Structure 1
Amino acid sequence: MSTYEGSFRVWRGDTGGGELTDFTVAVNDGEVVLDVIHRLQATQAPDLAVRWNCKAGKCGSCSAEINGRPRLLCMTRMSVFDPAEVITVTPLRAFPVVRDLVTDVSFNYTKAREVPAFVPPKGVAPGEYRMAQIDVERSQEFRKCIECFLCQDTCHVVRDHEENKAAFAGPRFLMRVAELDMHPLDAAGDEGLDRKRTAQDEHGLGYCNITKCCTEVCPEHIKITDNALIPLKERAVDRKYDPLVWLGSRIRRRDS
């Protein structure tokens, strides 16, 4: 097994401020960035704060920025970098720093609570739900989300404009709205909830200009923009501006 001395620049600090600190750390074949961060903790910086859990790319805990790109520390292999390259590891820029590489991502949990949950259809008992396989497959893609919030971090609407956070849910939760809106068993409409309208008026769908940066950083390769956000935008526009759709929404359905 070959080993080389890698050059790292890691952000150290807390809510009061901080700076990038240079380290030289041993790197072995087959390792990921999280392995090196753990070795750095064990040998040089025992107080370095980093959030992680599964080390298998499924918990979403070890989100950070590596050379400016939002990534999972445990899924970024050292082999993708030149051994002579200085690797910069910084916390997620869109969220407040707690300490070192750990950020306060509570913004995302606040937005999650603002999305109304699935509304079960009336008269259908648990275990009696039936869906076409194609509908199962459509929503299953979005269920792969591991809540790493890399898409939230890279979205420039959140990342570059702090003032937008109050009115914008971000791609992860607009994807959740899209999933519920296309769910054939969601009876939100029967309860007076129009998910397309709320996506536009309450969750800030109009702020998204489909740059696809969220899709590019998703470790689960979910096509957030193409399969969730663009179709949701199209349905929202139809709902609001298409005269036939508008008229149809005003006609009350007769009870069978």
Structure 2
Amino acid sequence: MTERRELRIWRGEGGEGAFASYLVEAEDGEVVLDLVHRLQATQAPDLAVRWNCKAGKCGSCSAEVNGRPRLLCMTRLSALPPDQPVVLTPLRAFPSVRDLVTDVGFNYAKAREVPAFVPPPGLAPGEYRMQQEDVARSQEFRKCIECFLCQDTCHAVRDHEENLAAFAGPRFLMRVAELDLHPLDAAAETGLDRARSAQEVHGLGYCNITKCCTEVCPEHIRITDNALIPLKERAADRKYDPLVWLGAKIGLRSGKTTP
């Protein structure tokens, strides 16, 4: 069945602009990105929007639909109120470039600040061996498609520009947690305590575990429960637990603890 849906889209450049309304034909089973493509083909060829795979795996078409961070290609029209306009705006946490496109360079800068995996000494690539349980613990985090919806919805990034220099955001704190959980990561042997670094360098303390990042993740990664909260616990242990501190001092324990 064909119907006409109203799209209200933010149009503008560099943060300056206004909403424009369009009536677009819609078919059963379509997603918001289908309407955006039809709009570009019929009425607004100059509309700027990022997209690539249209399969929910590249993270390119991130935007806000009716005020909620979503992937345009995974948001079905049937899930939105049929008697109301579909309101599309760019990700609010990042600088506007044009229309629905934002500058997400902040995220790539934060990615470079996270030290990479440190290979274990004495083992060559291909010789690494891990228990399946350990693989499973970090495999969840590897599902991240870097859509940056979690970064956009995190109020510490979204509402407090003054935090940006000191706070990496949930996506990259999750990366720190993944490496800290990795049984073969030898960062501690180089003097790098990843949990302490999360607190002192990447701003873990700015996170107050509201779980908003988990709620918008299209891959259903339990960012808060499985990454941020355990990372907070390990950071607190290493900083305040006297037994952990003493063990590290006398060399009985490495910087890692079991979460």
The TM tier, using the shorter chain, reads over 0.9
The CA distance in 1 between the partners of 2:108 and 2:17, in whole Å, is 26
Q: Secondary structure at the match of 2:126?
A: coil
Q: Secondary structure at the match of 2:112?
A: helix
Alignment of 1:93-112 (within 5 A): 93-112=92-111
Aligned to 2:256: none
Q: Is the 8 A contact 1:4 1:83 kept in 2?
A: no
Q: Secondary structure at the match of 1:98?
A: strand
The CA distance in 1 between the partners of 2:128 and 2:217, in whole Å, is 31
Residue 125 of structure 1: how far off its partner (Å): 1.1
The CA distance in 2 between the partners of 1:70 and 1:214, in whole Å, is 10
Matched, 1:163 2:162: yes
The CA distance in 1 between the partners of 2:95 and 2:187, in whole Å, is 34
The CA distance in 2 between the partners of 1:75 and 1:16, in whole Å, is 26
The CA distance in 1 between the partners of 2:98 and 2:41, in whole Å, is 18
Letter in 2 for 1:46: P
Residue 82 of structure 1: how far off its partner (Å): 2.8
Unmatched segments (≥5 aa) in structure 1: none
Aligned to 2:128: 129
The CA distance in 2 between the partners of 1:16 and 1:248, in whole Å, is 53
Matched, 1:192 2:191: yes
The CA distance in 2 between the partners of 1:82 and 1:13, in whole Å, is 26
Unmatched segments (≥5 aa) in structure 2: 254-259
Q: Secondary structure at the match of 1:115?
A: coil
Matched, 1:29 2:31: no
Letter in 2 for 1:198: S
Deviation digits for residues 58-87 of structure 1 (CA, Å, limit 9, x no counterpart): 000000000000000000001112322111
Q: Secondary structure at the match of 1:19?
A: strand
Letter in 2 for 1:204: G
Aligned to 2:172: 173
Q: Is the 8 A contact 1:175 1:224 kept in 2?
A: yes
Aligned to 1:79: 78
Matched, 1:70 2:69: yes
Letter in 1 for 2:4: E
The CA distance in 2 between the partners of 1:69 and 1:16, in whole Å, is 19
Q: How many residue pairs end up in the alignment?
A: 253
Worse-matched range after superposition: 87-96 or 243-252: 243-252
Deviation digits for residues 112-133 of structure 1 (CA, Å, limit 9, x no counterpart): 0000000000001111100000
Deviation digits for residues 183-204 of structure 1 (CA, Å, limit 9, x no counterpart): 0000001111110111000000
Q: Secondary structure at the match of 1:74?
A: helix
The CA distance in 2 between the partners of 1:249 and 1:87, in whole Å, is 56
The CA distance in 1 between the partners of 2:67 and 2:120, in whole Å, is 45
Letter in 1 for 2:148: F
Letter in 1 for 2:33: L
The CA distance in 1 between the partners of 2:179 and 2:8, in whole Å, is 42
Letter in 1 for 2:35: V
Residue 111 of structure 1: how far off its partner (Å): 0.1
Letter in 1 for 2:242: P
Letter in 1 for 2:127: E
Residue 16 of structure 1: how far off its partner (Å): 5.2
Residue 251 of structure 1: how far off its partner (Å): 1.4
The CA distance in 1 between the partners of 2:222 and 2:52, in whole Å, is 25
CA RMSD of aligned residues (A): 1.0
Runs of 4+ in 1 over 6 A off after TM superposition: none
Matched, 1:223 2:197: no
Letter in 1 for 2:5: G
Q: Secondary structure at the match of 1:143?
A: helix
Q: Is the 8 A contact 1:60 1:148 kept in 2?
A: yes
Identity %: 78
Residue 253 of structure 1: how far off its partner (Å): 5.3
Aligned to 2:58: 59
The CA distance in 2 between the partners of 1:63 and 1:73, in whole Å, is 6
Alignment of 1:117-156 (within 5 A): 117-156=116-155
Q: Secondary structure at the match of 1:222?
A: coil
Aligned to 1:244: 243
Q: Secondary structure at the match of 2:134?
A: helix
Q: Return closer, same or farther for 1:115/1:210 CA change in 2, 3 Å cut-off.
A: same
